[in-house]
Structure 1
Amino acid sequence: MADYNSDDDKSDRVLSPLVQEISQACEDYGFFQIINHGVPENLCERMMISVTEFFQLHHEERAHISSNDRTKPVRVSNFYLKEGQDKVTMWSETFSHPWHPIDDFIHLLPKNPPQYREVIGAYAKVIGALMNRLLSLISQGLGLEKDFLQRKLGEKPSLNAQANYYPPCPDPELTLGLAAHTDIGGLTILRQLEGVTGLQVIKDGKWVAVEPVPNAFVINVGHQIQVMSNGRYKSVHHRAVTNKQRPRVSLAMFYSPNKDTIVGPIEDLVDEEHPPLYRNYHYAEFIEEFRRQEGTRRRVKEVFEI
């Protein structure tokens, strides 16, 4: 748990313990939670209410954007997938769309709930600022300049949001809300609805529950930062489980390179004792390999190992 005070006038000396704490979490877990992050709690509450109300709309009101086609920028997908006759492997719905720049996609978003467009616009603005501050802290943890990772991830990053809805499930033992996976991008900021546990992270071969902390964000490292850090920071498997009693709602904000960005181990982190673990590649290659492995237990970054 990182207690993150977002005051801009804090000196590097004061921030140093926080940098060390985040760096250690990225090395050991690839996940951490932050509090005192500066994002207004009432805005977070409005955002989660808006997401919940969206998933409560009748199917007909969402049908025009329902699709499992990943190339569509705004889409609702459901994953009530069956394996055999009686085993459901995934039990969830997602609502995905870009979150920046807001003016480029706002007209594509549904008009209901009526406040959704306004709230996501305000939320995206403050999350963008938080994302940049986190990238700065993570850069410092690697011994780099504050803006190094942001520059390395490239201009015009790919910024996408994914709201997740996991309805109560009559038999949670036979389902997963979301199967074990890793995030292919750079960094993820997740907001969970308080009071419902569902996120689990793999640690030492065991699944560990990530309990929702009041007014906290869950942060996790994606594949691209693992590659850039030359394996020092970890992008780890995580999943979502279901329960019988209550729905679970979460909202993930992803920060990824654009397709033309060249990704590879940062030169300052490579030496004789730490040779490069990955070759350089365009992010478009990574996405292509990710899609090629659809339907398998993906091992995408391993394709780019040296």
Structure 2
Amino acid sequence: MANLLSSWSSDLDSLPEKYIVPEEKRPGALLAPVSKDIPAIDLSEGDRASIIQKIMKASQEFGFFQVINHGVSEKLMIDAVNVGKEFFSMPAEEMENFAAKDSRKGCKVYTGSGNCGSHDFGLWRDTLQHPCHPLEKWTNIFPDKPAGYRGTTGPYTVEVRKLGIRILDMICEGLGLTEENYDYHDLLLMIHNYPACPDPSSALGVSGHRWPMDWCGTSSKCFCIPISFSMEVHIQLRSAVHRMVTNSACSRTSLVNFFNCPSDRLIEPVKSLVSPSDPPAFRAFHMKEYLEVLFGKNSDSEVTAEYFKIKSQASK
């Protein structure tokens, strides 16, 4: 745990060799091109049908969208980010003591990718991770420092889950699915801290990936919603490959919320959406198999997606 970037990286003048990304995977000089085309959907504007239409269009064309006027208070969002920053600003021994006590109870603090996946380079980030639904089951394993962590993170994750369910409902309605076709899962919170990096052009906070599960992360006043790979399997939706870059000016903290899919869940195209003109691109698989393949192939999401493609589709 003494290897947490947050506890030693501020004194660096150069990037340690283990964090240098292979040249073909580096972000390069153009670190974070900003796309103004990512749809921003106002959840308070227009009727439900028009909002669903916008969500479906974004999910099919971009695989990524933002939502504004979503009902989660701006103050709660800011407080949640701030308490995450406070956690990673604590003395190293405080974080070490916390992790030592709680890492086997569902709460983890780690650098890079932790035990999930293997890379030939280190990821420039620290992460605090823990389950948070149902809240009454997990609150006792939340960090008790900094003061206010539990009192802020609890209400925040409750509101985020409500928003996530609302969006999932609208996506399913847009696909013509009924409640019999889907259910709701547990919620996992990850707070990522990306310390200031001495060479952002040669490092990555998160390498290119498509998440296997549904999640949403905070960004200013909006929530960013990527379509997951497991949803793309259902046909008519597109998952977007995305990555996280670093910067040299300051550290950055982001909150990511995952709607977890049980490992024994069968992921397959919804039969009512399959037709001769719209055949499935991926075969059925259990989430456990997907995770095993993903982490067994150096966390390369594109290679993993290809693995699950139906051969006739893979050749097209």
Question: Amino acid of the residue matched to residue 33 of structure 1?
Answer: Q
Task: Give the partner amino acid of 2:42.
Answer: D
Greater Cα shift, 71-80 or 276-285: 71-80
Match of 2:193 in 1: 165
Q: 1:89: Cα distance to partner?
A: 5.1
The residue aligned with 1:128 is: 161
RMSD: 2.5
- Counterpart of 2:303 in 1: which secondary structure? coil
The structural deviation recorded for 1:98 is 0.8
CA distance in 2, matches of 1:88, 1:303: 23
Q: Which amino acid aligns with 1:272?
A: P
Query: Contact (CA 8 Å) 1:65, 1:75: kept in 2 or not?
Result: no
- Please tell me whether the aligned partners of residues 65 and 74 of structure 1 are also in contact (alpha carbons under 8 angstroms): no
CA separation in 1, counterparts of 2:42 and 2:240? 22
Query: Corresponding residue for 2:11?
Result: none
Structure 1 residue 71: Cα displacement: 8.3
Structure 1 contact 169–243 (Cα < 8 Å) conserved: yes
* Alignment-derived partner of residue 2 in structure 1: 41
CA contact (8 A) 1:89 1:174 kept: no
Instruction: Give 1 or 2: higher strand fraction.
Output: 1
SS of equivalent residue, structure 1 residue 299: helix
**What is the aligned residue count?**
264
Identify the match of residue 263 of structure 1 among 246, 267, 278: 267
What is the deviation of 1:88?
Answer: 6.8
User: What pairs up with 1:61-76 in 2 under 5 angstroms?
Assistant: 61-64=94-97, 66=99, 73-76=106-109
Give, in whole Å, the separation in 2 of the partners of 1:90 and 1:183: 16
SS at match of 1:90: coil
Cross-structure match for 2:216: 189
Deviations 1:17-53 (A, max 9, x none): 2111111111111111110000111111111111110
Whether the 8 Å contact between 2:209 and 2:299 is mirrored in structure 1 is no
* Aligned equivalents of 1:27, 1:218: Cα separation in 2: 16
Q: CA 1:289 to 1:158, structure 2 compared with 1: closer, same or farther past 3 Å? A: farther
Q: How does 1:233-244 map to 2 (within 5 A)?
A: 233-244=237-248
- CA change 1:273–1:180 in 2 (3 A) is same
Separation in structure 2 between the aligned mates of residue 80 and residue 264 of structure 1, nearest angstrom: 28
Secondary structure, in 3 states, of the residue corresponding to 2:147?
coil
The answer (yes or no) to whether the contact 1:191–1:252 under 8 Å persists in 2 is yes
For residues 186-210 of structure 1, the C-alpha deviation after alignment (integer angstroms, 9 at most, x for no partner) is: x211013x4xxxxxxxxxxxxxxxx
Tell me if structure 2 keeps the 8 A contact 1:163–1:252.
yes
Superposition deviation, residue 135 in structure 1: 0.4
Change (3 A) 1:158 1:281: farther
Please tell me whether residue 109 in structure 1 is matched to residue 124 in structure 2: no
Secondary structure of 2:233's aligned partner = helix
Task: Provide closer, same or farther for how the CA distance between residues 124 and 240 of structure 1 changes in structure 2, counting only shifts above 3 A.
Answer: same
Structure 1 CA distance, aligned partners of 2:248 and 2:133? 36
Written as runs of structure 1 = structure 2, the 5 A alignment for 1:196-215 is 215=221
SS state at 1:179 partner: strand
Q: Which amino acid aligns with 1:190?
A: G
Preserved CA contact (<8 Å) 2:134 2:186: no
Q: Which of 33, 41, 46 is residue 66 of structure 2 equivalent to? A: 33
Cα distance in 2 between the residues matched to 1:219 and 1:175: 24
Offset at residue 72 of structure 1 (A)? 6.8
Measured in 2, the distance between the counterparts of 1:37 and 1:158 equals: 21
Q: Aligned AA for 1:40?
A: S
Q: Deviation digits for residues 60-81 of structure 1, max 9, x if unmatched?
A: 11114559xx987311111299
TM-score, normalised via structure 2 length: 0.76
| 2:226 corresponds to | 220
Q: What secondary structure does 1:129 align onto?
A: helix
The reply on whether 1:282 has 2:298 as its aligned counterpart is no
Matched, 1:57 2:84: no
CA contact (8 A) 2:233 2:280 kept: no
Q: Following TM superposition, by how much is the alpha carbon of 1:290 offset from its aligned partner in structure 2, in angstroms?
A: 2.5
Contact 1:80 1:88 survives alignment (8 Å): no
Percent identity over the alignment? 30
CA distance in 2, matches of 1:64, 1:290: 31
